[in-house]
Amino acid sequence: MRSKRNIAFLVAAAGLAALFALAAGLAAQQVSSTQPVTKMVPDNPSEHPAPVQPIPYSHKKHLAFGLECKQCHTNPEPGKLMTFPDTATCMQCHVTIAKDKPYIQKLAEYAKSKQPIPWVRVYTVLPGVAWSHRFHLEAGVKCETCHGYVRELDAMSEVTSVTTMYSCLNCHELNKAKTACDTCHKR
């Protein structure tokens, strides 16, 4: 009797597993079919190594926990730059998680002294360009549109060519946004 129940249970479990696999496959097809065909910001044609940071940080590891960009990077007035997270934000988790690792101890030292971590900025707006994250965020542009798939990066690097004039113009043309010179270059 027991063996028949076990077999019935295994058959039912296998059937459910097959249904879940089919549903996941269909969901993946729907996601891939809704992604844009044209890449708005091309990858950098040459490799740009990640700068050495004061504390190693993996976006891949942290975003896998369900964090979102806006939880760590805010956009204060006047809206030009996104901020780096305050050490207190990091310590909300790291007061208990990986607290014995040397780089987390270094993070704790920054937090205790109320000093910001001297992160090296990866993307830099070029001189002469009046640019704002705020306008792009309000237009619904996703972070990965310009910065690439950060959630796949162990070390942040300049993987896209977002700081080039070509990329800006290409994206503006694809999205029917203004392309006049004074849109980005103020006198």
Domain boundaries, the chain: 1-35, 40-83+121-187, 85-118
Spatial distance between the Cα atoms of 59 and 66, rounded to a whole number of angstroms: 11
Spatial distance between the Cα atoms of 162 and 48, rounded to a whole number of angstroms: 13
CA 171, 174, 179, 183 dihedral sign is: negative
| Local confidence pLDDT in tens for the 187 residues of the chain | 445 554 444 444 444 343 333 334 434 443 433 444 457 888 988 889 999 999 999 999 999 999 999 999 999 999 998 999 999 999 999 999 999 999 999 999 999 999 999 999 999 888 899 989 999 999 999 999 999 999 999 999 999 999 999 999 999 999 999 999 999 998 7
What is the structure's pLDDT at 125?
Answer: 87
* Cis peptide upstream of residue 85 (ω within 30 degrees of 0): no
The whole-model pTM stands at: 0.72
What is the structure's pLDDT at 186?
Answer: 85
Spatial distance between the Cα atoms of 154 and 21, rounded to a whole number of angstroms: 29
- Asked if 157 contacts 57 with a C-beta cutoff of 8 angstroms, the reply is no
Helix (H) or strand (E) holding 70: helix 69-72
* Percentages (nearest 5) of helix, strand, coil residues in the chain: 45, 0, 50
How many Cβ atoms sit within 10 Å of the Cβ of residue 42? 15
Spatial distance between the Cα atoms of 171 and 180, rounded to a whole number of angstroms: 13
Q: Which residues are paired to 160 by β-bridges?
A: 43
What is the structure's pLDDT at 23?
Answer: 38
Longest dimension (CA), the chain: 86
Spatial distance between the Cα atoms of 145 and 41, rounded to a whole number of angstroms: 7
What is the structure's pLDDT at 4?
Answer: 54
Place of tokens 């004039």: 165
